Structure 1
Amino acid sequence: DRLAADARAGLMRDVDHARISRAWQGVQSGRHPLATFTGTVLSHGAAACPHPSGARDLPARQARHDLLTGQVRLGTTADDARNPYAYRGTGLALGPELLGTSLVAVGPAGSGKTGAVVRPLAESLCLHALAGRAAVVVVGAAGVGAGPADAYDVVVRIGNPDSVYDLDLYGGTTDPDEAAAVLAEALVGDLADPHPGNDSRRATTVLAQLLGPFRAVHGRFPSVPELRGLLDGSPGPLAELRRGLTETGQESLLRELDARERQMAHPGDVGGVLADRVALLDRPAFAGFFDTSGQSRPFTLKALDHPVRVRVDLPARGHADASRVLARLVLAQFTASVTEREDRSLFACLVLDDATGVITPEAVRGIQRLRSANAGAVLTLRTLDDVARPLRGPLLGTVGCRMALAGLTPWDGQDFAEVWGKEWTEARDVTDRQIIAESPAGKAWHAVRRAITGKAPTARAVTVRQVERERWSASELAHAMPAGHAVLSLTDVRGEHAPPLLVDLRG
């Protein structure tokens, strides 16, 4: 009665309805007591069960949302012969059940990736977070249009001295091996396997040999300058570590340090490569970031157990290589943290605008694991050439939703054409053959007919056969797609799928 009265009085928004419905689901599943829910609703009405931020809506909405179904409208399927008849002219919307299979959007600059895809999806996921349904992390260059800062609970502006929050370089873990694996993926995960000694496995071993002893001595992980000094093999930091381990009798960790010092003498040691990559973060612009002494407010992706809204602004200008390292770091921490959650009823999504240099073999394997963890990723690329050739097929095969935007190159279109496959269609061949008369009367009639029509008598033959053709060819994707349109195929977490559809993103 209290909720109905608030609804009739116009005090209940769509976010309030979704949030209270989510809380009631928690009561039904036994996560929350009924008495607490009842008391909160009677006391606060439509404002009951609030989001930790206290916000009940976003400051502004640009897209059309339906929180009852959990979808955001992206556009309208075109009335085109290449679209199946049942889909023509219908609205197209995306929700968590589709984003749970992850999405990759490929298109050149200005094709609408940010404005028509990233911004509506980020806005929708923020609304879901306010309703207690989702946790979202949006990563992109500063000012790319991911929404205003007051639409998020946490805004990490890396390289901006005014940033309130910092980014935890080690993902909030206390396990040196886990921290080493995630950090190695961020630092050298993009290096191709043919490079000897530069693969993530050896890098993980090197980092673990340093992070474990350092944490045992200092009770924390090293800062960026300290880690750079250890990887460079500076005698001072290593001697200090050895002294601290000897005093505490850490024999196993001393053996790790001995192994690290022996490997530094080899010419193919990966420590030098790691030191060069860490040096990208050891710049004056990042002097106040990645602090491990506890003096800053670091954000860790372990917080995705809660309906939190996070925006990470990367320092793209002048620090492109550092931005790629940080983007790989966030993706690696995201895939590691969401798969370890105990309560997976909360949908977690990472929206990464411009995934150039981020797609690595380990990243593809991590994205494959998101579907079973009630999580997903939205990645945008200017071209598939930004992904290593051996990884393009696995990436497109891993994600369930694939989008090719107008302006695609033919070689990018070829990869989409292959992953979308072929379909059986009916081909009609019409042939005209000349009729040859045998009898004198027939020849006379044909002569009269030829004199009247000017054409020889012919008979038309129609042949109908089933042929297999590409759903969308590389040439059609590159040259036949109108501006402001995209071809999008969808798959939801239950396995239901829709064929590639031509969608108008301007509506």
Structure 2
Amino acid sequence: MDTDGTQDARDARATPVPRPAGPPPPMPSSAPFEAPAASVPAPGPPPAPEHAPSTGPTLREWLHVPRIADAPGTWAYGHRPRPPEEPERTPTRQLITGALISFLAGLLLWSLLWNGYLGSFWVWPLIVLTPDSWPGTETGVMADHVYSALVIGIMAVVFGRLGRWPELAGRVVGRGPGSLPKETLPPPPEPEDDPAEWPELRAAGQGDVAARLASEVRDGRMNDVDYARIRRAWHSVRADPSRLTAFAEAVRGNGAAACVHPSNKRDLPVRAARHDLFVRQVRLGTVHDGERTPYARRGTGLALDPVLLGTSLLAVGPPGAGKTRALVRPVVESLSLQALAGQAAVIAVCASGTQLGPDDAYDVVVGIGHPESVYDLDLYGGTNDPDEAAAVLAEGLVGDLTDTDSRRATTALAQLLGPFRAAHGRLPAIPELRELLDGEPTALAALREALDTDGHHSMRRELDARERQSGAAGDPGRALADRVALLDRPAFTGFFDTSGRTRPFSLRSLEHPLRVRIDLPERGHAEASRLLARLVLAQFTANAAVRADRSLFACLVLDDATRTLTEETLRGVQRLRSVNAGAVLTLRTLDDVPEALHTALLGAVGCRMAFSGITTWDGKRFAEAWGTEWVETRDVTQRTVFADQPLTRAIHAFRKLVTGKAVTTDAVTVRKVERERWSASELAHSVPAGHAVLSLRTVDGEHAPPLLVDLRN
């Protein structure tokens, strides 16, 4: 039995050495996401783990931390919601003054009482409650001291409340009203509710399986990836009870290594971000604690998960703003961990040399233009249908050209791919396709002869139609040939092969929990890199929509989406949220996309991110997308006070002589006005370095307003 068919990916990795799985790293991150059914692998010999010492909480402690997500993007691990309304915060100086005045007033009252200036009424309870023989004795003196201490205590309570001493003390030590409580580990739950004891398995009558997994947790042999992976496998068993026997045997035989990923890996070589696989979240930073931020979100952690990435995310920021470091790598890392847990498939596309983790953190690394690359890229997306291949290839080749009709380009390619497929049983490689598009007589004659020999007369008519249309007005053949020529270079010799000599990676593999990185030859072949990125995006949107099994969350991460977005690909991105898939796109500026697509692009994605340093022109587009809100403003008007009485005029004159200012009175006007959530000028000039403004939307339609996020924390 295999896992989601992922046994096909067992060889899809550059280094097959399994990495030891240890206890969970410090403060792991995740977000709950009920995945559909997945198959359970047959039991086999587990990789021999070497457990490194844990520097953070144990897996049991990690499981016991409460997770509360009261708004989209809230880091749920240990989150404690703030009060619904912001408490009135008295200035510290005012608290100190009030406390000092109340202390002096209490001291004065005690002095008056002690010295008898207010009479002796306050001692009558002592006189009534003590015998007449006590005065003058040791017992009487002790009773006087106890009574005086009691009176002082009562006065301290009364004047302390008047002077707000507890609030001042809390403010001094940082635990006063309005301050966030420190994160502490809660007491362990009851056994029947303890996730470390696997109550779901016990409730289903699998007590021995649950006991084996619980012992793995207690003994430190299970990490957070193991827990998420086995939990996912159990959900697949609930969906298909026929898998129960294989699941139980795998757990009894392998323990924490049961249902392991086809790569036999149970963790990544290194983690650069904080993850919580229990709820599939990755933490990006901390929401800024400022007036522009809603009170409930101030100082809270901000995280992403598949529920948000399912609406796709667009990030815009200049070079050096931190898009790769603060966004792309954490997201790719999180999805890679979820892939190891059988929950996701991730395709990361970046320029060669981009720091997205080591090669052994991926199952497939396609280094286009690198002779030592183990894998090739399937130019046709894994399909053998000439029409389907022509549609995707035409979008990748000429989809960005405004003077070329993509539909006519699709027809032109189909008129060549169909006959070639019929004659040779495969689709053409790059040199062969270029010859056909250029109208090379020898290549066309050979193809025509092969069709006649095999009796493919209908395909012969397709080829003849292509020859007649070639060179006509509006024919896309020349543009297609020019773009294919970008890939027919010596640096790409041996790549994009269709004869079976290479190991091509196909985006048809999105039904498997794969971790894939495609390195583009940006240096020296920038135009070809843009073409390939556009082709991968077109293939991803096409294949994600036709997956038979959509239980895995599929995500494409484009580290640089410059000149990759077209009208058709944007429509494909919009459809991703309905097929449990999403895309993360980064741009240096919106000008890297045709101006006609700016509005469609910002409307196609649910999450929008503006990094520090964007231009006012880009800021204007974001401001329009985020819209306006009603806010309460206070206008203060100062008016000079003119006195009628001579004494009052003299006092005002003396005050002006001392302060240098005339006596005024303030008139406060409170009103509600509509203003932009973030203006173009604020986005361009008020976002500090290392920060970004991020708005979020879930696949269910819940949304969060634009939030200023500190990506360094």
Q: Any conservation in 2 of the 1:59–1:150 contact (CA below 8 Å)?
A: yes
Partner of 1:189: 399
Alignment deviations for residues 290-309 of structure 1 (CA, whole Å, 9 cap, x no partner): 00101110010101111011
Name the Cα RMSD after superposition.
Answer: 1.6
Q: Any conservation in 2 of the 1:339–1:370 contact (CA below 8 Å)?
A: yes
Out of 391, 412, 417, the residue aligned to residue 618 of structure 2 is 412
User: C-alpha distance in 2, partners of 1:351/1:430?
Assistant: 50
Partner of 1:491: 697
Q: Any conservation in 2 of the 1:26–1:32 contact (CA below 8 Å)?
A: no
Tell me how far 1:248 sits from its aligned partner. Answer: 2.9
Tell me how far 1:451 sits from its aligned partner. Answer: 3.9
User: C-alpha distance in 1, partners of 2:618/2:232?
Assistant: 41
Q: Any conservation in 2 of the 1:264–1:271 contact (CA below 8 Å)?
A: yes
Do the aligned partners of residues 14 and 362 (structure 1) sit closer, same or farther apart at CA in structure 2, a change above 3 Å counting? same
1:49 paired to 2:255: no
Tell me how far 1:249 sits from its aligned partner. Answer: 2.9
**Aligned residue-pair number:** 499
User: C-alpha distance in 1, partners of 2:242/2:316?
Assistant: 42
Ranked by relative contact order (alpha carbons within 8 Å, sequence separation 6 or more), the top structure is 1
Do the aligned partners of residues 6 and 456 (structure 1) sit closer, same or farther apart at CA in structure 2, a change above 3 Å counting? closer
Q: Any conservation in 1 of the 2:336–2:346 contact (CA below 8 Å)?
A: yes
Partner of 1:265: 471
1:103 paired to 2:309: no
Q: Any conservation in 2 of the 1:74–1:505 contact (CA below 8 Å)?
A: yes
Tell me how far 1:268 sits from its aligned partner. Answer: 3.0
Out of 283, 288, 309, the residue aligned to residue 73 of structure 1 is 283
Out of 667, 672, 688, the residue aligned to residue 466 of structure 1 is 672
User: C-alpha distance in 2, partners of 1:162/1:287?
Assistant: 12
Q: Any conservation in 2 of the 1:449–1:457 contact (CA below 8 Å)?
A: no
1:93 paired to 2:303: yes
Question: What secondary structure sits across from 2:233 in the alignment?
Answer: helix
1:296 paired to 2:529: no
Tell me how far 1:311 sits from its aligned partner. Answer: 0.6
Aligned amino acid, residue 399 of structure 1? V
Question: What secondary structure sits across from 2:636 in the alignment?
Answer: strand
Q: Map residues 17-28 of structure 1 onto 2, 5 A cutoff.
A: 17-28=227-238
User: C-alpha distance in 2, partners of 1:31/1:161?
Assistant: 47
Q: Any conservation in 2 of the 1:446–1:457 contact (CA below 8 Å)?
A: no
Question: What secondary structure sits across from 2:630 in the alignment?
Answer: strand
User: C-alpha distance in 2, partners of 1:370/1:265?
Assistant: 38
1:286 paired to 2:496: no
User: C-alpha distance in 2, partners of 1:288/1:124?
Assistant: 33
Alignment deviations for residues 435-456 of structure 1 (CA, whole Å, 9 cap, x no partner): 789xxxx486786566445577
Alignment deviations for residues 178-236 of structure 1 (CA, whole Å, 9 cap, x no partner): 100100011001112xx2xx121111111011000110011110110110011111111
Q: Any conservation in 2 of the 1:209–1:257 contact (CA below 8 Å)?
A: yes
User: C-alpha distance in 2, partners of 1:421/1:449?
Assistant: 52
User: C-alpha distance in 1, partners of 2:642/2:424?
Assistant: 100
Partner of 1:363: 569
Q: Any conservation in 1 of the 2:655–2:663 contact (CA below 8 Å)?
A: no
- Percent identity between the two aligned chains: 68
Partner of 1:208: 414
1:145 paired to 2:355: yes
Tell me how far 1:35 sits from its aligned partner. Answer: 0.8
User: C-alpha distance in 1, partners of 2:266/2:600?
Assistant: 40
1:306 paired to 2:518: no
Do the aligned partners of residues 32 and 297 (structure 1) sit closer, same or farther apart at CA in structure 2, a change above 3 Å counting? farther
Alignment deviations for residues 310-341 of structure 1 (CA, whole Å, 9 cap, x no partner): 11000011000000010011111111111001
Tell me how far 1:283 sits from its aligned partner. Answer: 0.1
Partner of 1:29: 239
User: C-alpha distance in 1, partners of 2:342/2:394?
Assistant: 33
1:326 paired to 2:532: yes
Aligned amino acid, residue 636 of structure 2? V
User: C-alpha distance in 2, partners of 1:249/1:142?
Assistant: 46
Partner of 2:213: 3
User: C-alpha distance in 1, partners of 2:617/2:471?
Assistant: 45
- Between stretches 380-389 and 246-255, larger displacement belongs to 246-255
1:163 paired to 2:369: no
1:134 paired to 2:344: yes
Question: What secondary structure sits across from 1:33 in the alignment?
Answer: helix
Aligned amino acid, residue 486 of structure 1? A
Aligned amino acid, residue 360 of structure 1? T
Alignment deviations for residues 211-266 of structure 1 (CA, whole Å, 9 cap, x no partner): 00110011110110110011111111112222222233323222211221111131
User: C-alpha distance in 1, partners of 2:305/2:372?
Assistant: 34
Tell me how far 1:267 sits from its aligned partner. Answer: 3.9
User: C-alpha distance in 2, partners of 1:449/1:262?
Assistant: 102
When Rg is computed on C-alpha atoms for both structures, the one with the higher figure is 2
Higher strand share: 1
User: C-alpha distance in 1, partners of 2:444/2:242?
Assistant: 51
Alignment deviations for residues 390-410 of structure 1 (CA, whole Å, 9 cap, x no partner): 111111111111111111111
User: C-alpha distance in 1, partners of 2:630/2:353?
Assistant: 46
User: C-alpha distance in 1, partners of 2:282/2:301?
Assistant: 10
**What TM-score do you get using the length of structure 2 for normalisation?**
0.68
Partner of 2:480: 274
1:61 paired to 2:247: no
Question: What secondary structure sits across from 1:61 in the alignment?
Answer: coil
Question: What secondary structure sits across from 2:291 in the alignment?
Answer: coil
Question: What secondary structure sits across from 2:227 in the alignment?
Answer: helix
Question: What secondary structure sits across from 2:443 in the alignment?
Answer: helix
- Between stretches 240-249 and 295-304, larger displacement belongs to 240-249
Structure 2: runs of 5 or more not aligned: 1-210
Aligned amino acid, residue 3 of structure 1? L
Question: What secondary structure sits across from 1:43 in the alignment?
Answer: helix
Partner of 1:235: 441
Do the aligned partners of residues 32 and 420 (structure 1) sit closer, same or farther apart at CA in structure 2, a change above 3 Å counting? farther
Tell me how far 1:430 sits from its aligned partner. Answer: 2.2
**What TM-score do you get using the length of structure 1 for normalisation?**
0.95
